[in-house]
Amino acid sequence: MVTGNTFLPGVFDAIQPALESLSWLHRIWVKFVDCSGTYICTPVKKQQSRFCGLVRSHPLGYRRCRETAVRCVHLDKGTYHLFPCHAGLFVLAVPLQGDAGSFGALATGEVITPSCSTTQVLEKLQDLGLNQELLRQFYQEIPVKSHEEIRMLGEALYALGNIGFRRFKPSTGDGLKDARQLARDAAEYIATNYHQPLTLEGVAQMVHISPSYFSHIFKEEQKQTFTSYLTEARINKAKDLLKGSDLSISVIAGTVGYEDANYFSRVFKKNVGMSPLAFKKRFNKSKC
C-alpha cells in the first residue's frame, strides 16, 4: 500500500503495479523504504512473511527492523546488495539516489539462502521473548532462494529502481510493460546505430539498466539475443548494399559495423549460406 509522502509526487502510483508484478513473479515481498526506514510502498496482493510480522510486533524487534531498512538506503549506489538482517536472514536491496541525494531504497522481504541455519536465527531473537514454536513454524514459510535466483531477483530489483524512478510517469500502468518498452527502445536504437561499435553493456547503460537484466528482457521481447539481433540488423543492411550498390566488400563491411572484412565475410556466410561476393554475383545474375 502507498502512504503519504512529500517527494516524488505521483511516482508511487506508477511504481505500485511494478511491485505487485515483481512480488508475484518472484514470490517474495518487495517494498520501498524511505531514509528513516519507513515502509512507504508495499504490494497489496503479497503480504509480509508471518515470521517478520511476529518479530516486528515486539518494540525492540520493530526498531531493529527499521535499522535494517535504513541500512538499505546507505549502501553503495549502482548495484544491488545481499546482506543479513538483524535476525540472520537475508535482504536484497537497491539504494536510490536523486539529484538531491539518497531518498530511499527498494528491498525484498527477508529470504533464506541454502546456508541459513534455523538454530542461529532463533538464537539471535531469544532476547525478544517471542514464542519459539511460532517463530520456528513461520520460519519454514520463508522462501529459500538459490544463488542464481538471488542474482536474477537482484537484477530485477535494480532494473525496477532505475525504470521506476527515472522513467515512470504517473499514467504508466505496468512496470513490466515499461521494461518491455525499454527492450523495444533498444531495438530501435540498434536499427539506427548498427554501424557503430555497439555492445550489450553500452546499450544497457543507455537505457539505465544492468547488462544481465537488459539481456534477459531483450531476449524475452525480441525472441533472440542481443548479439543475434545486432548481427541480423547488420547482415540485412549488408544485403541491401550488395544488391543496390557497386561498393566493395571491405567498404560494405565497414559501413555495417565490421572493421575486419574477412570476419564480416565469415559472419555473412554463416547467416546467409554464401559469401558476400557470391550473394552479390547471384543477385546481379538474377537481374539479367
CB 212 within 8 A of CB 79: no
Highest mean pLDDT among 95-99, 106-110, 204-208, 283-287: 106-110
Average per-residue pLDDT for the chain: 82
Mean pLDDT within 84-105? 84
User: How much is the pLDDT for 47?
Assistant: 83
Neighbours of 66 (CB within 10 A): 17
Residue 99 CA to residue 63 CA, distance in Å, equals 29
Tell whether the model's pLDDT for residue 64 goes beyond 70. Answer: yes
User: 229: pLDDT confidence band, cut at 50, 70 and 90?
Assistant: very high
User: 159: pLDDT confidence band, cut at 50, 70 and 90?
Assistant: confident
In this structure, what DSSP letter does residue 195 have? T
Residue 179 CA to residue 69 CA, distance in Å, equals 26
Query: Pairing mode, if any, of strands 101-108 and 30-33?
Result: antiparallel
Burial class (CB in 10 A: 0-12, 13-18, 19+), 110: buried
User: How much is the pLDDT for 288?
Assistant: 47
The CA-CA-CA angle for residues 136, 142, 147, to 5°, reads 125
Query: 36-53, pLDDT tens digit by residue?
Result: 888 877 887 788 899 999
Residue 204 CA to residue 201 CA, distance in Å, equals 5
Mean pLDDT within 66-82? 89
From the list 208, 174, 183, the residue with the least C-alpha distance to 77 is 208
- Taking CA atoms, 9 is separated from 13, 37, 72, 171, 195, in Å, by 9, 19, 22, 12, 41
Distance of CA 45 to the CA centre of its chain: 21
Query: 174-217, pLDDT tens digit by residue?
Result: 444 456 677 888 888 888 888 888 888 888 777 666 677 778 78
Residue 83 CA to residue 95 CA, distance in Å, equals 13
User: 77: pLDDT confidence band, cut at 50, 70 and 90?
Assistant: confident
Mean pLDDT within 58-75? 92
From the list 281, 267, 283, 201, the residue with the least C-alpha distance to 233 is 267
Q: Which residue has the cell 513490466?
A: 176
User: 257: pLDDT confidence band, cut at 50, 70 and 90?
Assistant: very high
Tell whether the model's pLDDT for residue 166 goes beyond 90. Answer: no
Query: 127-144, pLDDT tens digit by residue?
Result: 999 999 999 999 999 989
Question: With DSSP H G I counted as helix, E B as strand and the rest as coil, what are the percentages for the chain, rounded to 5?
Answer: 55, 10, 30
User: How much is the pLDDT for 7?
Assistant: 41
| Strands of the 39-41 sheet, one edge to the other | 39-41, 30-33, 101-108, 90-98, 81-84
Tell whether the model's pLDDT for residue 20 goes beyond 90. Answer: no
The CA-based dihedral angle spanning residues 83, 164, 215, 229, taken in that order and rounded to the nearest 10 degrees:
-170
Higher pLDDT, 165 or 152: 152
Tell whether the model's pLDDT for residue 281 goes beyond 90. Answer: no
Q: Is 137 helix (H, G, I), strand (E, B) or coil?
A: helix
The CA-based dihedral angle spanning residues 30, 34, 36, 37, taken in that order and rounded to the nearest 10 degrees:
0
How many percent of the chain have pLDDT more than 70? 83
Highest mean pLDDT among 17-21, 89-93, 98-102, 160-164: 89-93
